[in-house]
């Protein structure tokens, strides 16, 4: 039984790995072509390659569910085509045990997805975006068409590039009076967060103060900047909700609730991340049921085609229900859970008929 478990497990694992390699490879090639169109004087093709490579963990995270479905259809279908599944069933091995053998290697990819999404993607995505924006604009003057804007009281701030760990490049700050007149404008090439003192230290600061009849200019090598802005807040603002970790999403949802601000978008991203393991298992169950049911006599190419169609259809339904939950006000948890429950129920129903 142990040898059989290893045989099924290794077959499914390699099939999922190959499917993941193909899907990620195609996405990487498309991303490189897309980035090549943005190559300019300070942003070279080698920098585009580094950008795509830095975001590779996020790409892997995105394609693990569909790779698990396609890999399961391919691996288990290969065993079925060689009559190995028939021999297993004839020797008294139950369908439930075969499903268990298939799910064991899938759990490794579940752990991989959770690890990437929680610990690697948020940091590397911010690093990739920050490095790209720095190479495009660097420490030079304000570029309001991109970067990050932030407001704190009567002060407006803009950052050309935001790096993880609390490093900002191209920091522009504008302080306004109560009558909305500009009192002071400053620009610093770089600002670094000092965690021990809970403040920022600006470097190479140029300050312009506006009075009624004149302006005053001043330059400083460094300047202390006390602000409620922290690297964690910047991470939430610079990255899309789906790129944040579960912990960061949960903290920001609580913060928005205390501010009486709409947080449905972040709740949707939170439940999508939390239920990612269930999504993978649901798609794999559906794939197993197809091999033992409707696709039992089908060719390998047709099985892979069905896997792609089901994966794309599942993604479309997810992308539709998410915005619907925000527009019509039903719980984001329900929007994420409904497609998963549908896959699980259909898979279990087909497996029961096959058994």
How far apart CA 325 and CA 249 sit, in angstroms, is 18
| pLDDT above 70 coverage of the chain, percent | 95
| pLDDT above 90 coverage of the chain, percent | 44
What per-residue confidence (pLDDT) applies to 235? 86
Q: In the structure encoding, which two tokens stand for residue 238, read together?
A: 């610079």
Alpha helices in 223-299 (DSSP H): 231-238, 246-258, 264-274, 276-292
What per-residue confidence (pLDDT) applies to 111? 96
State pLDDT tens for residues 155-185.
Answer: 999 998 899 989 999 899 999 988 888 999 9
Task: Calculate mean pLDDT across residues 150-154.
Answer: 86
Question: Residue 314, Cβ neighbours under 10 Å: how many?
Answer: 21
State pLDDT tens for residues 178-233.
Answer: 888 899 999 999 999 998 999 999 999 999 999 877 888 999 999 999 988 888 88
Res 140 pLDDT > 60: no
Helix (H) or strand (E) segment spanning residue 306: helix 300-328
What per-residue confidence (pLDDT) applies to 214? 84
State pLDDT tens for residues 231-252.
Answer: 888 888 888 898 999 999 998 8
Residue 111 burial (10 A CB sphere; 0-12, 13-18, 19+): exposed
- Buried/exposed 289-299: b ≥16 CB within 10 Å, e otherwise: bbbbbebeebe
From the list 3, 1, 13, the residue with the least C-alpha distance to 76 is: 13
Question: Taking CA 225 as the corner, what is the angle to CA 214 and CA 133, rounded to the nearest 5 degrees?
Answer: 95
Confidence of residue 337 (pLDDT cuts 50, 70, 90): very high
Confidence of residue 272 (pLDDT cuts 50, 70, 90): very high
Question: Residue 78, Cβ neighbours under 10 Å: how many?
Answer: 17
What per-residue confidence (pLDDT) applies to 245? 92
> By mean pLDDT, which of 71-75, 93-97, 224-228, 343-347 is the weakest?
93-97
Confidence of residue 299 (pLDDT cuts 50, 70, 90): confident
What per-residue confidence (pLDDT) applies to 141? 58
Confidence of residue 78 (pLDDT cuts 50, 70, 90): confident
State pLDDT tens for residues 308-327.
Answer: 888 888 888 888 888 888 88
């Amino acid at each position: 039984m142990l040898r059989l478990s290893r045989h099924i497990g290794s077959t499914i694992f390699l099939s999922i790995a190959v499917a993941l390699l193909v899907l990620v490879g195609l996405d990487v090639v498309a991303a490189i072509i897309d980035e090549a169109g943005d190559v300019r004087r300070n942003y070279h093709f080698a920098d585009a390659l580094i950008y795509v490579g830095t975001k590779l963990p996020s790409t892997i995270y995105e394609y693990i569910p569909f790779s698990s479905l396609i890999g399961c259809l391919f691996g288990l279908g290969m065993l079925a085509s060689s009559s190995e599944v028939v021999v297993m069933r004839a020797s008294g091995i139950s369908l439930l045990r075969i499903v268990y053998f298939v799910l064991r290697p899938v759990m490794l990819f579940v752990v991989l997805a959770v690890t990437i999404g929680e610990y690697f993607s948020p940091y590397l995505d911010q690093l990739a975006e920050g490095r790209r924006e720095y190479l495009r604009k660097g420490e030079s003057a304000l570029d309001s068409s991109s970067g990050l804007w932030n407001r704190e009281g009567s002060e407006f701030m803009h950052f050309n590039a935001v790096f993880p760990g609390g490093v900002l490049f191209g920091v522009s700050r504008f302080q306004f009076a109560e009558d909305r007149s500009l009192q002071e404008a400053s620009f610093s090439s770089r600002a670094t967060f000092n965690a021990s003192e809970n403040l920022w230290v600006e470097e190479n600061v140029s300050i312009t103060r506006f009075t009624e009849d004149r302006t005053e200019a001043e330059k400083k090598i460094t300047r202390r900047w006390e602000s409620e802005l922290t690297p964690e807040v910047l991470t939430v603002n610079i990255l899309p909700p789906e790129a944040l970790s579960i912990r960061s999403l949960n903290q920001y949802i609580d913060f928005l609730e205390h501010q009486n601000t709409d947080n449905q978008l972040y709740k949707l991203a939170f439940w999508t991340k939390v239920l990612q393991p269930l999504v993978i298992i649901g798609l794999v169950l559906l794939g197993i049921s197809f091999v033992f049911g409707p696709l039992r006599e089908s060719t390998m190419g047709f099985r892979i085609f069905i896997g792609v169609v089901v994966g794309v259809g599942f993604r479309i339904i997810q992308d539709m229900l998410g915005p619907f939950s925000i527009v019509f006000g039903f719980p984001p948890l329900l929007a994420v859970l409904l497609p998963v429950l549908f896959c699980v129920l259909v898979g279990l129903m087909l497996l029961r008929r096959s058994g």
